Amino acid sequence: MTWVWLGVLCYAIGSLPTAYLFTRYILGQDIWQIGDFNSGAANVFRNVGAKTGVAVGAIDIIKGALVIVLAMVLVDDTRMEMMAGAAALAGHNLPVHLRFRGGRGAAIAVGILIASVPIIGLPIGALCLVLLYLTHRAIYPLVVFLVVIPVLTWSIGYPVALAIYVVAIPIAVGLSHLFTVRIRNPGTAKNIGESLELTQK
């Protein structure tokens, strides 16, 4: 039963729709009608504003880290911690109360990975913050983080199960992105490109 209640709790935490709440109730906008129509931090960053996007992303990162810390405190079992992260990612990407229209999971995945492998995650995360500040583009630090963390996890010699998990989380984010732009919202790649051009002007 521990698996069940912890999974439900972490799914609920992950499903907190940060981007949707920020844009609708604070800014009075509908995130599903903006940019690539995705309720994620990246869409907010590109099409609503950098400060708002960073705030949304920070909360999503905290959500990801929180579920891992909760699992550590409540059960202290690596398998349960991995399940907690997967449940939170599922909740973020597929929130039942929003008819499964969530984000792509990049920001929450960052939090999950930082908390799962903090020795690697914290310094790489700090470097990515510097990269975000220098480039003003969220995509570059996200890609660097989601690629470098799995590579370092394997090279340093973490347990195989954890190393596979750290690889699987970014893969899940990538598949979520493909699902969004190819199936859920086909044609949004053009919107993404247009919004990126606007942010560079």
Which of 30, 52, 47 has its CA nearest to residue 191? 47
Tens digit of pLDDT at every position of the chain (201 positions): 678 999 999 999 999 999 999 898 888 888 888 887 888 888 888 888 888 888 999 999 999 999 999 999 999 899 999 999 999 999 999 999 888 888 889 999 999 999 999 999 999 999 998 998 888 887 888 889 989 999 999 888 888 999 999 999 999 998 988 887 777 666 555 444 444 443 444
pTM: 0.86
